[in-house]
Chain A
Amino acid sequence: MAEISYRDAVTRGIAQEMARDPDVVFLGEDVAKPGGCFKATVGLYEQFGGVRVRDTPISEQAILGAAMGAAMTGLKPIAEIMFSDFIAVCFDYIANEFPKARYMSNGQTKCPLVVRTANGAGSRFGAQHSQSVENWCMMIPGLKVVAPSSPIDVVGLMAAAVRDPDPVIFFEHKSLYNSKGEVPDGEILDTLGTAKILRPGKDCTIVALALMVPRALEAAERLRIDHGIDCEVIDVRSLVPLDTKTILASVAKTHRLFTVEENPRLCGWGAEIVSIVADEAFYDLDGPPVRITTPHIPLPAADIMEDVVLPTPQRIMETIRRSLGS
């Protein structure tokens, strides 16, 4: 057991899978010799060599297209898109190619690949380098979508994503790269489609993802200390497949639901969860489900502005306290 950073967990997860399976290859811009724009893949080139770990031109369509062609014909590629905002320039592969190939071919074509990408705000990079775009991918049938919040989950979900036979979009959070956590020695393999209850509670359910998870946990702690409110905090981890069982069971117990989302308001993943709960657990609820999100605006660059638009522990705490009327 050792404490490692979320950043090092990325390298650890990829290395674990590359060491296990020679079909796993890794490509992206500045990922090999330079070790990645966020230094999340340092050492892979040295460990596995330039044939398996390859720097590409600045060609996002070529990166994802090549990953797909390699996956269709037998490899298990991991492709990096440097910032998740750049998914927009290669969205054809994410929206039209990866997720449709198997269906359109009536099951002939496979596409076992992972696209990993740095998502989210906190770096004061402005509206084109800070977005949380996991909902861009969640809406597409045929994809799987993962966004871990801790180093151990990064390693285990990376392994699960690489071994999964479907295309997986793997969102790493830029503001979590420096965070640290205990990771046991040896192989770690997690399961896609499983949420984790990080803190059990009885008064309300808070569902969060990625950077919003530590913020939800902090809010829950303050709600307990300051107001005696006992929150259950669920890390969704995987948007597709979605572990609705864990969420519905929690709501059945707490009778209140809050989602904490970094994405802008419209069509955020929380809306889907609220809709499922409204459909299937309406009579479990003692009050309206509440979504805590970034407002529906492009992200501003300045720190004081970015800090107020993202859900903060303070905003989460106040929203919950007000809703629960204490």
Chain B
Amino acid sequence: MVIERASVTANELIAEGIFQMNVSAPKIAGENPSPGQFINISVIDSWFHPLRRPMSIAGREGESLKIIYKIFGAGTRLLSEFPVGSFIDLLGPLGNTFELTEGATPVLVGGGVGLAPILWFDETLRSNGIDHTTIIGARHSGEHFLEHCPKEGFILTTDDGTVGIKGTVLPTIESICLEMENPKLFACGPEPMLKAVKQFAEKETVLCELSVESYMGCATGICQGCAIEHKSSSISEHSYHERFSLVCLDGPIYNAKDIRFP
């Protein structure tokens, strides 16, 4: 975990309301982050925004890290205004990583900008020759910037059917998982999607890891601000009761059956 002033090498609109930023961050990249981990970004030096914004790492190439974000509030708007060549203050790498289970075939699911860590995981699996399927959902084609390639195990869905399979990611998850011997789901996206994935995984007893989001204060376990309710006692090391876990240290990746959404 280090703080680094990284230089912005790209920051552009890649789909409707969705931006991609690339930064050169040799120190953070030097700590060998893995898919699932995140960085905490100071969107402005001024104290008008005293807290950083956590963002999943969407890719890494050497010293270069990628994030994908949506303009959601004042903080992400400021993020979109960083020109190429400027510097941005990052803390990372933070959090835990997706874990493969031996004998289980990964099924990756990304919804909205929740596709960020999923894309990186997909890329990593691909380059390691690990057989898997990836499903990326959006509301309509304008929000997609990738190609629908079902033959290569890369499937897009849209709510309105303008590209890929029509519908939410859920029916596609169901049909893919139910055909597989031993699937393991890895999902990141908006809370309603995560809830639905969790419900499906529990009903069909499918292994499932979810990447969850939370407001964060320090992202280092100090402020205790990013608590999430959870059931297992195996990940309560950083909070002081079985009931809560800290997303910054114990997460953001959780076994779906361990966590409870409000």
Do A and B belong to a common assembly? no
Residues of A within 8 A of B (CB): none
